Structure 1
């Protein structure tokens, strides 16, 4: 083969090399992000810190490598929604160890050893490389041609070097592939302050609710953005393969490895497999009683759910969910009125608080917007409204198959997976739809039908009579 190539005329050889470069370039040119990956890229326009929290083999590292290549070369595709640099940048790409840095971010960016330019960085853009110590074929520094004419500089680093090795001159962009220790993340982020740069992470949260994960899920900083990508979003994995892949993971790691959910272990409030309670979307029969329930919010989101109750079997279905931040009661009501004019609405105790602007209680503001707010706040028939009692009711229903949730309600499932305790106390973050569901179950006795119900068996009649009489029936049994 070598003698054949060397015998080619120079112009034919140059043409062949250009074709090879074009084939290498096509790997990045053909990148079309899935919706969560696109949302992750877009968040770079307004957020200095980003996390792509995803399962194994869902495409998180390739997503990070594609973005890094765009910034280093300054060659952005037409569809690019994120931040752009019109000048050369200095960037760091990193992993846990020297070996994992070589095998993951370096491989995605540069290709395999001896084939530099076969990754997301096209061959024609790689101007020079310098080797690193610590692992065979590990690169220290790469110079990359930028569209402006001057080169960008990329360095590969790893967490095992320790914090001191992460101190140094300013950089524009830092990519953490796999979760870094908090001190390494802080040091890397600090390097971007002087440049007005940014940092992003791509990892599967196998360390649970660590300090790094918590700071992104707490939602306390407008600089941070968390994107969750699950195996269901990874279109390159055939649907029939997904169940097999999920089953291959250890049971306690399945949610993390398949859906990017932090391992919470005994800290999870509802340790129930998703597959046990998820149902496909459906239109509830007209004779099923329905109830809406809401949790008020502004800085933390306002949330609402619709419950449909199969009273014959005492199974409650969450069929709709709505969650939004920083909107007024008028906008909330406009979104919820289409759920049904006669739909009764359960609401929590803070609905009795008076608004500073209007002086009206919150619940009255929603009633004025045309929602059928129940006359009293969410409580059990005896007047109690304990959080722990409500959580135990939810858990009992989940474990006995009497609470089901439509599979497409992504916001509800996100909260369900992350709902946990710390030091025995419920963490009041990302719990808005969970709270709304709890209020709805507490007031299930007020669910109504839009049409006369069909005749019910004695068992269901007894349960319904118990609710109407104010006695705690099975649906609102308290522990």
Structure 2
């Protein structure tokens, strides 16, 4: 029995892929590989990001995909690069995740019995230059190790199927690694904690996303191996100015966040909205930056507002946005900003009117406070006051809303107008809370003079 237990332990140590089961956010990162060429797993320290990508790369190198795998597959051997900042950090992080600790080759993500010929790098002890990995087809994949300190010229070379950047690379190194995958139609993956703030590489994923880019944000609450009672202690151990980056993967934000409020004080589980609570939707028009909509419900008894839903989409027409909004409650009025008065070139029709033609119940006037003002700062301060007094809550499954909430910040005292579409839509709804309406009773016909239309109850 002891010999059997020892053998079982050895096999598990030398085939960690056998027992790897990703957490929810890790699974999201893996699944995105089926669609996106560029992926970022933006996570806090010790949240499991490095082994997550190491396991994925091991699947590709060996062709040994598990039943639960939903990401991209290669049915042939591949050429892959794995890299970090220096030779030492490459050895201690991606190499360790893939091959195991120094002196324990085969205890990483790549099973020991799949490892073949190898060559060692010069200048750094115990750093591999390359290693062959036996693929399920019987041929051999090649895994090569690189580092950013080598400089861009060392990143020029042959076509590569998969490039893994563990820790944030300089923009020129990232570009060169990405270029290596063009001919193969390959992909790149990054895993890091964004301690360099809103760098050029981070901005590409958070501010200028494309159809090829995918960002997965994994926080300490998503790291299932960390007991809940340990998380607060771990967060408290980080320097105050780095806590959000190290615990939640949130880039450091220059002059500071607009809403310095703990997410836990806002997030609540979703629940059925009482029928007597007034409802309102705030929208922010957009094309190259996303159109956004945020649904609010108002508990008048406690004077608490709840963000119950959100929607964000770029470069689609009002027809598409209306189709997404109306099924969530065509009776709910919409608060909208001043640019809804802008006329479309050619037709001369105001933007707000285009949305009305699609059956959306836009309020007759743009969003303002009761006195007719529309100060951005006044709206932000009102939201902050409600948050700090426990009168602003958000359904906890609204990941897109919380993502913008974390990144919403000032620079040199001014609000940074990037990746703020849901925040703006929320502010318009807050300003027009007085226009919120209760859901009509079934078969009731309502005439609303403020909106200027007649509609059937739902």
Deviations 1:125-174 (A, max 9, x none): 11022222343322222111123333222122222333333333333221
Mark the runs of 5 or more structure 2 residues left unpaired by the alignment. 442-449, 451-458
For the 8 Å contact 2:278–2:437, the answer to whether it is kept is: yes
The secondary structure found in structure 2 opposite 1:372 is coil
Specify the alignment match of 1:223 in structure 2: 212
- 1:182 matched to which residue of 2? 171
TM-score, scaled relative to structure 1: 0.82
Two-structure CA RMSD over aligned residues (Å):
3.1
Q: Contact conserved, 1:252 with 1:265, CA < 8 A, in 2?
A: no
SS at the partner of 1:449? Answer: coil
Decide which of 54, 76, 92 is 1:65's aligned counterpart: 54
Q: Distance in 1 between matches of 2:426 and 2:90?
A: 44
3-state DSSP class of the match of 2:196? coil
Secondary structure class of the residue paired with 1:37: helix
Residues 21 and 124 in structure 1, CA contact (< 8 A), matched pair in contact too: no
Residue from 262, 270, 295 that aligns with 1:273: 262
Aligned residue among 85, 102, 118 for 1:129:
118
Residue equivalent to 1:118 = 107
Matched-pair contact (CA < 8 Å) for 1:281–1:319 = yes
1:414 aligns with 2:441: no
Partner deviation per Cα, 1:260-308 (whole Å, 9 max, x = no partner): 1112142422222223333333445444433221223344333222222
**Is the alpha carbon distance of 1:122 and 1:21 closer, same or farther for their aligned partners in structure 2, counting shifts above 3 Å?**
farther
| Long gaps (5+) in structure 1 | 6-14, 453-467, 469-479
User: Taking structure 1 as reference, are residues 21 and 74 closer, same or farther at Cα in structure 2, changes over 3 Å only?
Assistant: farther
- The structure 1 residue matched to 2:279, chosen from 290, 297, 309, is 290
Aligned partners of 1:366, 1:25: CA distance in 2, in Å? Answer: 60
Residue equivalent to 2:198: 209
Query: Deviation at 1:355?
Result: 5.8
Output aligned runs, 1:272-351, within 5 Å.
Answer: 272-351=261-340
More helix by share: 1
Equivalent in 431, 434, 443 of residue 420 of structure 2: 431
- Residue 91 (structure 1) aligned to one of 74, 80, 92: 80
Contact 1:291/1:343 (<8 A) preserved: yes
User: In the alignment, does 2:327 pair up with 1:374?
Assistant: no
Q: 1:115 to 1:372 in 2, by over 3 A?
A: same
Query: What's the offset of the Cα at 1:415?
Result: 0.6
Q: Which moved more, 1:354-363 or 1:393-402?
A: 354-363
From the superposition, tell whether residues 267 and 176 of structure 1 become closer, same or farther in structure 2 (CA, over 3 Å).
same
In 2: Cα distance, 1:320 partner to 1:212 partner? 30
Provide the secondary structure at the position in 1 that maps to 2:255.
helix
Count of residue correspondences: 440
Could you tell me which residue of structure 1 aligns to residue 446 of structure 2?
none
**Displacement of 1:378 after TM fit?**
1.2
Following superposition of structure 1 onto structure 2, how do residues 160-179 of structure 1 map, counting pairs within 5 Å? Answer: 160-179=149-168
SS at match of 1:256: helix
Q: Could you tell me how far apart the structure 1 residues matched to 2:429 and 2:245 are?
A: 29
Against the structure 1 CA distance between its residues 388 and 405, is the aligned structure 2 distance closer, same or farther, given a 3 Å change threshold?
A: same
Question: 2:139 maps to what in 1?
Answer: 150
Distance 2:112 2:236 in 1: 39
Q: Deviations over 1:179-202 (max 9, x none)?
A: 122232223223333433322100
Other-structure match for 2:44 = 55
Question: CA separation in 2, counterparts of 1:250 and 1:295?
Answer: 36
In structure 2, the residue matched to 1:109 is 98
